Structure 1
Amino acid sequence: MYTPRAFAFNDLHELQQQMLGTRLALLVTHGEQGLQASHLPLLLNTDEGPNGTLYGHFAKANPQWKELQDGAEALVIFAGAEAYVSPGFYPSKAEDGKVVPTWNYVAVHAYGSAEVFTDAERLRSLVSALTERHEAGRAQPWKVADAPADYIDGMLKAIVGFALPIQRLEGKRKLSQNRNAADIAGVREGLAASADAHDQALAHLMPKE
């Protein structure tokens, strides 16, 4: 990921918090079948390994898991808040007109090679943990145990799990840090005034005076 120094963030806790806050990640591999990508909900164990370990699963019919089994390196993309930045947000526009549109965003890229597994109990533990995470906060959370046991047993046979120790992390926060204070404030105020929830979320991350 191209990351100018002004936009980089490297604190492990902050990187992990961004990953934990991303509900759906993008896992990319390159192997004999060329580039492959899958959108997956993942679990992050922050205490396992120097950078944490990611857990998830593929449908067994998805051939990408075979790339992991063969040792392919994976790139996992955690996309955060993002917003279009209009030149009209910059007060400096009135001075010389030398401004162009851009995009502000937050992203973390994680790299590593994975262990693939099909053990039923390990898969059950994984899907149970994923379910608990995403059912949390509901008045009546659904649990894996709520479904018939033989049905769950059949579903587990149709998936392949993986554990991916993170070997390298990259973080980028592009929040107009390369602009002057007035332009940063203009972007923050412009996005905050938008009716779009994505714009408002990005505005909340913008640096304040």
Structure 2
Amino acid sequence: MYVPKHFDEPRPEVLHTLIAENPLGILFTHGKSGLDANHIPFDLKAGEGACGVLHAHVARANPVWQDVANGDEVLVVFRAGDAYISPTWYPSKHEFHKQVPTWNYRVVHAHGRVTIRDDERYVRGLVARLTRTHEASQPHPWKMTDSASDYIDAMLKAIVGVEIEITRLVGKIKLSQNKEVRDIQGAGAALNEQGENVIGGAMLEYAAIKSAIKADDSPA
């Protein structure tokens, strides 16, 4: 991934947070059948390994788990919001007419090595964790014990675990950081007005930080 310096986000804790908040990743593999991509919800254990470990499962009918070998290099891409940016939202455009459209976004690329975990204990624990995490906001959270044990057992036999030890994290957060503060604020506010609050809010937050830094650097 091409990452200009002003869009680079190297902090592991920030990237881990983006993954945890946007757990549906795209798993890219290059196995015996060639390139493949699968959309999978992941459970991140940030404290495991050097850069964290991703845990997931796929349907047993999905050939991906047999197409790769343990230790193969894989890539998981997590998208944390995106939005089109109109040049008309930049105040400087109306003065100098030197702005063009762009697209802002936040993404994390997790490079790692895969291990297939075809065992019931692993997938049962994983499904339990995913359920607790994503049912927590429900008024009446669903639990695995809400279904008959033989039904859950059959469902677990129909999936296979996938574990990915992250070896390298690459983050790109594109929020118009290369623009003037007023332009970032203008575009961020316009996005919020359209309901694009993920990127709009992130842009306004960055603009506030940039303004504060600029104020601190100003001569007294």
TM-score bucket (shorter structure): over 0.9
CA distance in 1, matches of 2:23, 2:71: 26
Deviations 1:125-183 (A, max 9, x none): 11111111111121211111221111111111111102111000000110001112221
Name the CA distance, whole Å, in 2 between partners of 1:74 and 1:88.
40
- Contact 2:115/2:164, CA 8 A, preserved across alignment: yes
Determine the structure 2 residue equivalent to 1:66. Answer: 66
Q: Which residue of 2 aligns with 1:102?
A: 102
CA shift at 1:122, angstroms? Answer: 1.7
Any conservation in 2 of the 1:57–1:160 contact (CA below 8 Å)? yes
Aligned to 2:189: 189
Structure whose residues are more often helix by fraction: 2
- Aligned-residue offset at 1:98: 2.2
* Equivalent residue number for residue 120 of structure 1: 120
Q: How does 1:31-110 map to 2 (within 5 A)?
A: 31-110=31-110
Provide the alpha-carbon RMSD of the alignment: 1.3
Change (3 A) 1:70 1:49: closer
Report the residue type matching 2:155 in the other structure. Answer: M
Find the aligned partners of 1:60 and 1:140 in 2 and give their Cα distance: 30
2-structure distance, mates of 1:70, 1:11:
28
Counterpart of 1:77 in 2: which secondary structure? strand
Question: CA shift at 1:70, angstroms?
Answer: 5.0
Q: What code does the residue aligned with 1:49 have? A: G
What is the rounded CA distance, in whole Å, between the counterparts of 1:63 and 1:155 in structure 2?
Answer: 18
Map of 2:23 onto structure 1: 23
SS of aligned partner of 1:153: helix
Give the structure 1 partner of residue 217 of structure 2: none
Residue equivalent to 2:167: 167
**Structure 2 residue matching 1:69: 3-state secondary structure:** coil
Query: Could you state the TM-score of these two structures normalised by the residue count of structure 2?
Result: 0.89
Tell me by how many angstroms 1:22 deviates. Answer: 0.5
Amino acid corresponding to residue 14 of structure 1 in structure 2: V
Alpha-carbon shift at residue 123 of structure 1 (Å):
1.3
Give the gaps of 5 or more residues in structure 2.
212-220
Q: Is the contact between residue 42 and residue 55 of structure 2 (CA under 8 Å) also seen in structure 1?
A: yes
C-alpha distance in 2, partners of 1:36/1:163?
Answer: 17
The aligned length equals 206
Q: Which runs of 4+ in 1 moved over 4 A?
A: none
Give, in angstroms, the shift of residue 71 of structure 1: 3.7
1:84 is paired with a residue of what secondary structure?
Answer: strand
State the identity as a percent: 44
Structure 1: gaps spanning 5 or more residues: none
Read off the aligned partner of 1:162 and give its amino acid letter: V
